[in-house]
Amino acid sequence: MSTLLELAQDRIDDFAARAKALRDCLQQVIIGQDETLDLLLTCALTGSHALLMGVPGLAKTLMVKALASAFDWQFSRIQFTPDLMPSDITGFELLGGGGHNGEQAMVFRRGPIFANLVLADEINRAAPKTQSALLEAMAERHVTVGGQTYSLDAPFLVVATQNPIEQEGTYPLPEAQLDRFMMEIRISYPTHLEEEEIVERTTSTPMTLPRAVFDRASFLSLCELVWSVPVAKFVIAYAVHLCSASRPDDPRAHPFAKSYVAWGAGPRGSQNLILAAKAHALLAGRAAPTPEDVRAVALPVLRHRILINHRAIGDAIASDDVIDRLLRDTST
C-alpha cells in the first residue's frame, strides 16, 4: 500500500513540476494575469473550452497563442465577422482531380477548425448560423460536410473571446452554445506596476512566443491523470447542491435564486465543477479535490450558466452576485 501511495505522490509531484515549468514559460510572455492563466490551464488539462471576456488590449489573443506555442500545438485563429460563413470554419468541398484514374471528384478542403487550439476571436460578431458551425465540433469533436464526417485530432480546444463593451452589430451566443464552454473567464486590467512592466518590455524588443515545453504525448498523459483523480462523495454532493440551489424551481433552491434567477445551472455545471476542481487540486500539488477547490472554480464555471430575471436587472443583481450568495450560504 505504501508503495502505491508513493507512486501516486510521485506522479502528483511530477504533475506539479511540469505545471510550474509551463507557468514559468507562459510568464515569459504574459505579465500578470496569473489567475487567468491558471484557469486556461485548467480548461486545457480537462479538454474543455473557454470563453474569454475582456476589453481590447488585455492580451487575450497573446495568451492563447502563447499557450499553443508552449504545448507545441497546431493553432488557428478565426476572426468572426458578420459575413463569415460556416464553410469558412469547417471547410468545403471543391471539384478537383482526386478521383480514380485522374477523374474529377469532390475534394474536401479542411477549414481552420482542424487544429489543436482554435481561437474564435469576437465570436459574437458572427451570425447565429455561423456560430452554430462551432457547436458540433465543440460537442462531438468532429464536423460534417457534404454528408461526410471528419474527426478532429486530440487535443482539441476552442477558446472564444468577446468584447463586453461594444454590443452594436453583435449576436448573443445561445444558451446551448454557452453551456459548451467550461468557463467564462473575465480578464481585468493589470496593476500599475504590471502595466509599467508591460510597456517597458513591449516597447524595447519584439515580442516572441515561448518555446514548447510539452509534446503531445506528455500533455495527453497529464490529461489522463486529471481525469483519474478520485473524488470523495461529499465533494460531489457539494457541487451538486451548489448547482441545484441555483435552480428557482428546485425544492433545494436558495431563496435568493428564487427571487433573482430565471434559469439555474444544469447537470453539466456540476460535472464541470468537479472536473475543474480536480485540475485545481493537482495544480496545487494535492492528490484529491476538496470543497474549497469547488469554491475556487465556481465563479468562472457557473456565471454563464445562471440566467438572471428582470427583477435582478432592476435591482442591479448579476449572476456573480447570485453565485457569491450561494457560496456563502451553501454548507459542505
What is the 3-state secondary structure of 305-320? CCEECHHHHHCCCCHH
**Is the pLDDT assigned to residue 11 strictly greater than 80?**
no
Quick one: pLDDT band at residue 243, thresholds 50, 70, 90?
Answer: very high
Least confident of 2-16, 147-161, 243-257: 2-16
- Domains belonging to the chain, first-starting first, are 230-332 (1.10.8.80)
Distance CA 32, CA 26 (A): 10
Average pLDDT over residues 231-237: 95
The pTM of the full predicted model, rounded to 2 decimals, is 0.88
Q: What is residue 6's predicted lDDT score, i.e. its pLDDT?
A: 54
Q: What is the mean pLDDT of the chain?
A: 87
The answer, yes or no, to whether residue 48 has pLDDT greater than 90, is yes
Q: How confident is the model at residue 4 (pLDDT cuts 50, 70, 90)?
A: very low
3-state secondary structure of 204: coil
Helix or strand run (H / E) with residue 160: strand 157-162
Section 68-97 average pLDDT: 86
CB 282 within 8 A of CB 228: no
Q: Which helix (H) or strand (E) holds 2?
A: helix 2-27
Q: Tell which wins on pLDDT, 9 or 199.
A: 199
**Contact assessment for residue 213 and residue 22, using Cβ atoms and an 8 Å cutoff:** yes
User: Which stretch of 77-86, 174-183, 275-284 has the lowest confidence by average pLDDT?
Assistant: 174-183
Q: 19 with 41: CB under 8 angstroms?
A: yes
pLDDT at 209 > cutoff 60: yes
Query: Is pLDDT above 60 for 98?
Result: no
Alpha-carbon distance of 325 to 132, in angstroms, equals 33
Whether 40 contacts 50, CB under 8 Å: yes
Do the beta carbons of residue 308 and residue 262 sit within 8 Å? yes
What are 164-198's pLDDT values in tens digits?
Answer: 776 666 788 877 788 889 999 999 888 899 899 88
- Residue 193 in grid coordinates: 506596476
pLDDT digits (tens, 9 = 90+) for 106-163: 788 888 999 999 999 988 888 888 888 887 788 888 888 878 888 888 889 999 998 7
Q: What is the mean pLDDT of residues 278-295?
A: 91
What is the structure's pLDDT at 1?
43
The pLDDT assigned to 166 comes to 66
Is the model's pLDDT at 3 over the cut of 70?
no
| DSSP string of 34-63, one letter each residue | HHHHHHHHHHHHTT-EEEEE--TTS-HHHH
Q: In which band, very low, low, confident or very high, does the pLDDT at 2 lie, cut at 50, 70 and 90?
A: very low
